[in-house]
Chains A and B, each alone.
Chain A
Amino acid sequence: MAKAAETPPDTLLDKDTALRLFRMMALIRRFEERTEEQYTRARIGGYCHLAIGEEASTVGAIDALEPGDCLYASYRDHGTALAVGSEPVAVMAELFGKETGVAHGRGGSMHLMDVQRRFFGGWGIVGAHLPIATGTALALSYRDLPNAVLCQFGDGAVETGSFHEALNLAGVWDLPIVFQIINNQYGMGTSVEQSSAEPDLWRRAAAYRMHGERIDGNDVLAVREATARLMGIARRERRPALLETITYRFRGHSVADAGKVYRSAEEIESWRKRDPITRFGLHCSERGLLEQDEIDQVWSDVAAEVKSAIDEALGAAFPDPDTLYEHVYGDSAWREQFSRMRAGAPFGERGEERTWQT
């Protein structure tokens, strides 16, 4: 069983990639900070879970996807949607419950998705999506497609029965899937040590004779390298893997949780010092890949982008209550059903033929 891979030499990193990764992490950070503010202003209902601090684990992995790969994620999914390229305005509109949201206001914060980009969703029932992602990998395999599935979930999901059943299926059927544990070290207020008899979560792969690996999840390049490598093996050799990326959520479990009862101030502070965005910015400027003024420019660009997303989403319409009964069932004309969706919104309707369905 291999353990921690070395961070690859950054000679591999070009300026465009550096800028893309930095920009996406900055966009997510800014988006989430403003989301928190919108929530406290009661523009967002229900629950609001931020992944501030975990950007590298999300962005590094998703950046390693190739066209045709499929993605599943947990409910802490604002960054996931942005990283796959969903429009910030459509994501914000979903948080506001607007008709133009990525799920037409039916799902909310925990259930973002973008089927056209093969992001099959954030999932509010912890662990539920692992078997589903496995089934998607089965379909890729069945249809002999050259792609693989990336399935992200938290450390808490590892304790569900679904984790075991999904990994076992993937192992026994040789499915093209990478299971990524975004280990932020707590499931709500319960630490990994408290909830897992084997706190080295990556070691669980051994039970399925699967490759397991733990890496620094706050190092966007390490995450990108490991994901690219394991997804490559999954695509080419139909071998699943378990990748554990160690990270930390700076905020509470949800906006309603201060996040301080079950962890110490020192612990939080020590992780803030390992902020993945600051760290990557430094990495890039030390190597002359990004100048300070470019970094500043990114921050002001993403701030403007998020602001306009908020403004536009605020102006969008709520769903018409008369549509309450719509969408519950599909029918034999389901393909056409997708045309009911608006451009820029979720189920993949931008006029493109969804050829992969056939």
Chain B
Amino acid sequence: MAIKTYLQAISDGLREEMRRDQRVFLIGEDIGVYGGAFKVTQGFQQEFGEDRVIDSPLSETAITGACTGAALMGMRPVCEMQFSDFVSCAFDQLVTVAAKQHYRVGTPVPIVVRLPSGGGFSGGPFHSQNPEGFFAHCPGLKIACPATPADAKGLILSAIRDPNPVLYFEHKHLYRRIKGEVPDGDTAVEFGKARVHQEGSDLSIITYGAMVYTAEEAAKAAAEQDGTSVEIIDLRTITPWDREAVLASVAKTSKVIVLHEDTHTSGFGAEIAATIAEEAFETLDAPVMRITAPDTPVPFSPPLEKAYLPQPGDVLAGIERLAAY
């Protein structure tokens, strides 16, 4: 067990799996000589060579399509979109091809698309988005959104081993800011199993990715303020997602906030809220509340971006409102 940053944990997971499994190789823009835009793959080309850490031209469509084609031949490619925003250039390859390949032909597509996502440092409208909602809508894709270093490693291992196309969202704002214990060795984390980030009894916050920490701050403030006890459920993966864990938590607390950094309308929170309404209506003491980014592009200007991103204060206000029921 060692303390690692979120970024190191991803890096370690990739490295260990590449050492273990010769079929695993990486394709991406500037991942080799440059070490990756965020340095996740720094030193990889020295260790694994240019054949397994492939610097590609600026061609997201071809990168993603080539991964799929190689996967059909039994390889386990992991590609990187330099920012998750650019996955839109590979949308067709993922949604039309990779997602439907197994259904249509019966051939598995064990690819992983690494997607540095999220805002918080003035990346502006094309370098800050959280596009998981688009893909959650598409049957055939799996989606991981780790929040902790341990999960970052555990989920990248599972993602690579999964026979399906996996979109692995790594939040840029967690890379170096979040440190935590990462178990040594082969510690794959199962998809579809939520994690109780903190236990509580008065209200549940269902979230994932960077918003786990926003929820944590708000919960801390609520506890200090009047002893409100908040339970935080970190979904870890949104396809598949752990309905049982969510419904169990709601049954316990009877009040729930669904929180994510993606925009509001048709965000994944809508799916969670609808499921709670369908399955747990009788256990609820208050309406299900969604706290999300607003339905606007991500603004560049720092004060606007701050207003855009859900803040601990927004979540605290939500907790207070639900407490009134």
Contact = CB atoms under 8 A, between A and B. Distances in A.
Given A159-B57, A160-B89, A325-B294, A190 B300 contact: no
A101 B308 CA distance: 19
Contact of B124 (A111, A126, A159, A187): A111
A124 interface: yes
B306 interface: yes
B301 A190 contact: no
Interface string A102-120: 0101111111000000000
* Interface SS, A side: loop
Interface residues of A, number: 41
B125 interface: yes
Interface residues of B, number: 38
Contacts of A101: 301
A2 interface: no
Contacts of B275: none
- A157, A160, A190, A257: which has the most chain B beta carbons within 10 Å? A190
A106 B304 contact: yes
A262 interface: yes
A319 B30 contact: no
Contact of B304 (A47, A97, A125, A126): A97
Contact of B300 (A111, A126, A157): A111
Contact of B33 (A108, A160, A190): A190
B86 interface: yes
Interface of B: 29-30, 33-35, 37, 55-62, 85-86, 88-89, 121-127, 294-297, 299-304, 306-308
Given A107-B124, A318-B301, 10 more contacts: A46-B124, A97-B303, A108-B300, A160-B59, A188-B34, A194-B55, A195-B55, A262-B34, A318-B304, A319-B304
Interface of A: 45-47, 97-99, 101, 103, 105-111, 124-127, 156-157, 159-161, 187-190, 194-196, 257, 261-262, 318-319, 321, 323-325, 328
24 contacts: A45-B121, A45-B300, A46-B124, A47-B123, A99-B301, A101-B301, A105-B304, A106-B299, A106-B304, A107-B125, A108-B124, A109-B124, A110-B126, A111-B124, A125-B89, A127-B89, A161-B62, A188-B37, A189-B34, A195-B55, A195-B58, A319-B304, A323-B304, A324-B308
